[in-house]
Amino acid sequence: MLTITIDGKQISTPKGTTILEAAKKAGIEIPTLCHHKDIFPPEVQKSGGCRICMVKDVATDKMIPSCAEPVTDGMRIISSNKKIKQARRNILESILENHLIDCDHCLRQKKCELMTLAKEFGLDHITSTSVKRLVEKMDISSEGINRDPQKCILCGRCVRVCSETQTADILSFKYDGFPNQVTPPFSDEVSPQYERQLKDTACVECGQCVTVCPTGALTEKSHEERVWEALKDPNKHVVAQTAPAIRVSIGEEFGIAPGGVSTGQMVASLKNLGFNKVFDTNFTADLTILEEGHEFIDRVGKGENLPMFTSCSPGWIKFMEYNYPEYLDNLSTCKSPQQMFGALAKSYYAKKAGIDPKDIFSVSLMPCTAKKFEASRPEMSQSGIQDVDAVLTTREFARMVKKANIDFKGLEEQEFDNPLGVSTGAAAIFGTTGGVMEAALRTAVEVITGKELGGIEFQQVRGYEGIKEATLQVGELEVKVAVCHGLSNARKLLEMIKNGDAFYHFVEVMSCPGGCIGGGGQPLPATKEKRQARMDAIYEVDKNLPLRKSHENPAVQELYKEFLGEPLGKMSHDLLHTEYTERIQNSTLHKAIKEAGLSDQLVFPLKQGDGKFARPVVIEGEEVSVGQKIAEANGFYGRHIYSGVVGKVIKIKEQNDSRTKNAESIIIVPGKLQEAMLKEVSAAVDSVEKADGISTDSQEVKIEELSVNELREKIAGIGISHLPAISNTRVNTPLFEKGIEWEANHKDTLVINLAGTNNLVTKDHRLALENINQLLKGIKVLLKAFKLERCVIAACANDPTVINLLSEKVQNDEIIEVVTVADKYPQSKESMLIQKIFASGKSIEACMITDVETVVKIYNRITAGVPNIDTVITVDGLLVKDPRNYRVRLGVSLKSVLMEAGVDLNQIESQGVKIYLSKRDGQLREASLEEFITDSIQGVLILAEETKLSKLENYDDCVHCGRCVENCPMELYPNKLSIFAETKQLSESRGYNVEDCIGCSICAFVCPSNRPISSMIKQTKDELKVF
C-alpha cells in the first residue's frame, strides 16, 4: 500500500491508483470532464486531456492531472486553492468559447455534463453561437446517430469507447500539431468534398459513443417528429411495442431510482400520447425462442453451421457483416423480436383487426440506437412496406412524454393490449446479457429431452463478466455454450473460435455492456451501477411472472395454431427469418490491397533521389526478365533499378515530362510470357505470406545461419543504410560515409515510421494490417543486419486499429515497442518524429529510420528473392469507382492505374477535377496523365479544382487584445508570431523564439478573431525547419 496526503488528509491506497481515485476514496471531490470511470478497463482509464481535474503536487510545485497521474508513496497533493480554481475556470472558459452553446435546441439539455460544470464555476452565462475551431458541418449520414462537431469538446471519450470497448475504431482525432477535431479516421481538410462521414465507416451504430459523450456532440437520430405526425394523422392506426429493458429504465427519466419497474406507467403514458394499441415486444421474444430453439436443435442434429450465434442485437449483426463475413452462415436466421413484431403487426394483427397494412404505423420503443438502422434495412419489409416505421429510444420516449406534459409517476397503471401483449419470464430476461441464452436453454432442453426442467435458472450464464462459458448435459448431448457482451469481448471470442482455441454449440452476443440494459438509447449518464440495478430488476420481473418458459406462452401457441403453422415452417420462414450480407466499405482503409495490371509500356527514370543518374546495364533491343537488374545505382542514396516484367528494352532516351525533367529513362514493352512470369513472382511472395512470416523451419534456419555481411549483401539492391537501393531509408546521426561499416553502440534504434503519409493516403495502414508478420520478422532481420539494439514503431493516434494490432503482437517483445504520436511525419519531417519519440521517454542516441513498405520488401527479398519491382499506392478521390490501395509495378503509366480504379479518363477534364500525386515528403503535386509510377509516389488522388493545399482558412485580422499572450504557457508572443507568418517574416519569428512553441493551441482557443494561430506558427516552424 502507498501513502498519499491530500489536503492534509493521509490516505492509504494500492499501487496503480490515480490521485483522483484516492481523493474520491477519501471523500474529496475533484471536478472532471474527460474522465469516465465505468467505461474503460483500469489499465486504460487515464486521459488527462481536459485538465479540469488539475491538482498541485507540493514536491514539484507543478499542476498535474489527477485522473491520469498515479499515486507515488509519500506524495503530497493540494486539490483546491485559489490558483487551482482559477486555472480550472480558465480552462473551462476556453472550452465553452469553442463549444456551440445552443441548449434550447440540444437533445442533451439538462443532462449535459459541460453545462453542469459551467454552472458550478459560474460560467453558465456564456452564450456562443459559433466555434472558433475549424470543424466540418453536422454529420447526419447515419441511420441511428448524429454527430455535431461544433459541440465537441475534444475529451476523447467517444474515441476510446469505440476503440477499446467496442473495437469498431471508427472515430479518431484529427491532428494539426494538436487534436483539433474528432472525425472518422483518415479524414482530411485538403478537399471539402472529401470529409468522411459515419456512413463511410464500419460504424455498427451501437450508440456507446453517445452514452459517454459529455455534451450534445453525439446524439441519437430522433424519430420523434415522424411519430408525432403519425399520431396526428386520423388515417393512421398507430401501434407501439416496448422492449423489456425499457420498463426497468424509463423511470430514471422521471426521478424513479434505477431498477424501478415502470411497466404500467409506461403503457399508460403511451395511451395518453394517443397510440391506438400498446403491445409488448416480449411476446415476440418468446416467439424468437421458439424459432431459434428449433433452429438450434436442427443445426446440432445435422452438425451444420456451428456454433450458432444469436441474432437479436443489430449492432452485433452489422459488426459481423463488416468484420467476420465468413461467419454469417453461423448467425441464426431469426429476425430480432423487434422485427418479428413488425412483420406480425402488418400481417397477423392487420388481418385480425381488419386494417390495411399500409394504414398501420408501427413504432418500437427500444434501448438501442442500432435498432433504427435495423428497421431501415431493406430485408425488413413486406411488399415494399417497412415492418417498423419508427424507433424511439428510451430518451426520445421520455422527451415525448414531457413535451405532452404527462405526469408519468402519477399515472394509473394500465395493461398491454391483446393479442400481442402476453409474455413469459424468459422473454423478460432478453434485456440483459445472458438472457437470450437462458431463455433458449429453458425451451431447448425440454424439447430435446422431453422432460420438464427442475431448476430453470441457469446461473452459469448470468452476471457481468465479459465472457461466460458453460457446458450442459442435455440428454445424451454435451452442449457447450458461451455468452459475451461488448464487442471487444465478441472479437476476442470470435478470434478464439477462428484460431481453434475454443468450440461452442451456441453463442449469445450483445453489442453493449450489460446487454440491452446498457444500450445506446438508455437514460444518461451511463454508469455500471445503473446497469446492475436494471439487470437485477429484470431478473426480479422474470421471477414474479407465472409463466417462465417461452414455449408455455398460450398466445404464441395460438399464433402457431391460427397463422404460422409450426416453428421453421413456410409461413414462419417468410415472415420471421432473414438473411445477412457481407458489407464491404467503399473506403481504402478497409479494402484489401489489389494487384494492378500493366500498361503498354513501362518507363523507368534513371535520375536518383540524390540527383545522380543510375547507369543502364542493358541495351536497346535486349530481352529482359522479371527481377533483372536494368540499371546500377550510382551514389550514396542511389538504388538499383529492376525490371518488373518480361519484355524488351525498346528505348533508352530522354523522357521529357513534367515530373522527370529530361531525366534519362529506360522504356520496356511487356512480352507474351508476362502472365506466367508474374504468377511465378506472386507465388514466391504468397509462399512467404502463407508461411506466417519467417516461420517454416527451413526459412528460419536459413536466416539464422546468415552472417551480418551476408544479410547486408542480400539487402543490397532494395535498400538500407550505405548499401545502395531504395531511397526512402535514411540514417540519422551518427551519419557515416559510403564504405564505413555501421557499428552499434548498443543504444542505436530502428524507427519504423507508420505516420508518414497524409490523411488521404492509407497504404501504411493496409500494409501493416496485411503484412503484420512480415513486418515484425523483417524488423528482426534489420536489427541483426545492422547490429541495432531495439525498434520503435511510431504510429499515428488516428489509426487505432493498427496500434491495437501491433501492441497486441509485441506485448511480450522486449525489443520492439509501439509509440503513439499525435501528428503526421512525412519524410521531410522525420527529425520532428525523432523529437516526439524522445519526448515519450525513449532514449535514442542514434537511429535508422524507414517505413513499413521498405521493411516488407527487405523481408521478401531475403526469404523469397523478390527484388524491388513494385510499390503500393493509394488511389482515391472523385471519379474513383474502386478506391483502394493497389500494388503497382514500377514504371507503369498513371493512365493504366486510374483505369484499373474505374476512372473514366474522359471525365477528368469535363468534371473540373485535377490529379494530385502524394509524395514521400508529404506534399501534394499536381500531375498529368502522361506520367509513370515511381517508388516516391505514395498516392494518386483526384480532387476538385478548388482544393486547398494549405490548411489555413480565411480569418480576421489580429485585434491586438493580448489574450493569446496572457494565456501562452511558454510566455511567447503568439500575436506577433502569427503576423510574421502572414507576412512571411520568417527571420523575425526566430527573434521571438518560435522554436519554443509546443503547439498546445491555447492561443487559437482564446483568439476572438478566429485566427488559427497555432497552425500559423506550426507552418512557420516547418518552413524554418525548427522543431
Catalytic residue, chosen from 143, 189, 252, 292, is 292
Catalytic residue, chosen from 277, 371, 372, 1018, is 371
CB atoms within 10 A of CB 495: 12
Written as one letter, the residue type at 551 is H
**Can you tell me the distance from the alpha carbon of 765 to that of 778, in angstroms, rounded to the nearest whole number?**
17
Catalytic residue, chosen from 187, 249, 332, 978, is 332
**Can you tell me the distance from the alpha carbon of 347 to that of 355, in angstroms, rounded to the nearest whole number?**
10
**Can you tell me the distance from the alpha carbon of 155 to that of 213, in angstroms, rounded to the nearest whole number?**
8
**Can you tell me the distance from the alpha carbon of 285 to that of 336, in angstroms, rounded to the nearest whole number?**
8
Q: Is 910 annotated as catalytic?
A: no
Q: Is 295 annotated as catalytic?
A: yes
Nearest to 693 by CA among 615, 780, 811, 568: 780
Report CA-CA distances (Å) from 262 to 253, 277, 349, 381, 548: 11, 18, 26, 32, 20
237-242 and 277-280 strand pairing: parallel
Residues 6+ apart with CB under 8 A from 906: none
H helix or E strand, kind and range, residue 366: strand 360-366
**β-pair partners for 887:** 595, 872
Q: Is 1007 annotated as catalytic?
A: no
Catalytic residue, chosen from 162, 516, 958, 1007, is 516
**Can you tell me the distance from the alpha carbon of 357 to that of 387, in angstroms, rounded to the nearest whole number?**
10
**β-pair partners for 651:** 667
Residue 914 grid coordinates: 485535377
**Can you tell me the distance from the alpha carbon of 428 to that of 536, in angstroms, rounded to the nearest whole number?**
12
Report CA-CA distances (Å) from 568 to 113, 334, 577: 49, 10, 9
DSSP line for 856-908 = HHHHHHHHH---S-EEEEEEEETT-SS-EEEEEETT-BHHHHHHHTT--THHH
Q: Is 622 annotated as catalytic?
A: no
Helix axes 800-809, 763-770, angle to 10 degrees: 30
Q: Is 741 annotated as catalytic?
A: no
- For residues 379 and 578, the answer to whether their CB atoms sit within 8 Å is yes
Q: Is 817 annotated as catalytic?
A: no
Written as one letter, the residue type at 772 is I
**Can you tell me the distance from the alpha carbon of 960 to that of 102, in angstroms, rounded to the nearest whole number?**
29
DSSP state of 489: H
- For residues 754 and 746, the answer to whether their CB atoms sit within 8 Å is no
**Can you tell me the distance from the alpha carbon of 462 to that of 490, in angstroms, rounded to the nearest whole number?**
16
**Can you tell me the distance from the alpha carbon of 315 to that of 512, in angstroms, rounded to the nearest whole number?**
8
Q: Which residues of 1000-1019 are buried (b: 16+ CB within 10 A; e: fewer)?
A: ebbbbbbbebebbbbbbbbb
Q: Is 791 annotated as catalytic?
A: no
**Can you tell me the distance from the alpha carbon of 478 to that of 960, in angstroms, rounded to the nearest whole number?**
78
Quickly tell me which residue has 500498361 as its cell: 599
Quickly tell me which residue has 519484355 as its cell: 647
Residue 253 grid coordinates: 427519466
Nearest 10 degrees: Cα torsion 437, 443, 448, 451: 130
Residues 6+ apart with CB under 8 A from 978: 958, 964, 1003, 1011, 1013, 1016, 1017
Residues 6+ apart with CB under 8 A from 677: 625, 626, 645, 646
**Can you tell me the distance from the alpha carbon of 653 to that of 605, in angstroms, rounded to the nearest whole number?**
9
Q: Is 516 annotated as catalytic?
A: yes
Catalytic residue, chosen from 312, 368, 958, 964, is 312
**Can you tell me the distance from the alpha carbon of 793 to that of 817, in angstroms, rounded to the nearest whole number?**
6
Catalytic residue, chosen from 379, 675, 789, 953, is 379
Catalytic residue, chosen from 253, 374, 508, 664, is 374
Catalytic residue, chosen from 295, 396, 830, 900, is 295
Catalytic residues: 292, 295, 312, 332, 371, 374, 379, 516
